[in-house]
Chain A
Amino acid sequence: AQTVTQSQPEMSVQEAETVTLSCTYDTSENNYYLFWYKQPPSRQMILVIRQEAYKQQNATENRFSVNFQKAAKSFSLKISDSQLGDTAMYFCAFIPNTNAGKSTFGDGTTLTVKP
């Protein structure tokens, strides 16, 4: 069974600053995928960024980047130049490369961007 741990229930950052959200996971799988999802107050689940475990290069999407450390089973999200619209709950998720492929989510981190 996989577990995903987000150790920061709440974080805050000043607008235009950089913030890093942490995520660790535990699995015996060798082939899997990691994702960060954003959940604004509307509670919709929005994909922010994805990382394939077999890729050593860290994924980036505009202001969002990850620090993927496979040996340490760590997958942190860095948000640069934070914007007020980044205020949301952020979930880290793990998906094994299997047919069932269910997602396992962390508890989430509530990020508040302050003006």
Chain B
Amino acid sequence: EPEVTQTPSHQVTQMGQEVILRCVPISNHLYFYWYRQILGQKVEFLVSFYNNEISEKSEIFDDQFSVERPDGSNFTLKIRSTKLEDSAMYFCASRWAPNTEAFFGQGTRLTVV
């Protein structure tokens, strides 16, 4: 069964460092998303991406964040200068069309120290 793959599963980084979270969506999907879940809290939308551009972004997705689909298969989330409060589980999701469910990756646990 096709699945969304995220790497790494866990990343520890020092405050102020740049980090790139990687995702390989399901191959024929067209819509891509990043979500964040701080420990013990709800899943929050960060950004949606379609047709090689951002469709929508939340207030959380400020200038420190960027997304890219560099090679037609990977979908990355970059945090330029990490802060302690960026520590969270980051989920990538993809879907084929607006009227289908989103498939989530297993998540990347980011710990900023």
Residues of B within 8 A of A (CB): 31, 33, 35, 37, 41-45, 48, 50, 55-56, 89, 91, 93, 95, 98-99, 101-104, 106-107, 109
Contact = CB atoms under 8 A, between A and B. Distances in A.
Contact of B109 (A35, A43, A105): A43
Given A45-B107, A106-B42, A101 B91 contact: no
Given A47-B103, A108-B42, A103 B93 contact: yes
Contact of A100 (B55, B89, B103): B55
B98 A97 contact: yes
B98 A47 contact: no
Interface string A8-43: 000000000000000000000000010101000011
B104 A44 contact: yes
Given A43-B109, A104-B45, A106-B42, A99 B55 contact: yes
B56 A100 contact: yes
Contacts of B98: 95, 97-99, 101
Given A44-B104, A99-B98, A105-B44, 8 more contacts: A33-B101, A37-B104, A43-B107, A47-B103, A93-B43, A95-B98, A100-B55, A103-B33
Contacts of B43: 45, 91, 93, 103, 105
Contacts of B91: 45
18 contacts: A33-B101, A42-B106, A44-B106, A45-B43, A45-B104, A45-B107, A93-B43, A95-B102, A99-B31, A99-B98, A101-B48, A101-B98, A102-B33, A102-B45, A103-B33, A103-B93, A105-B42, A107-B42
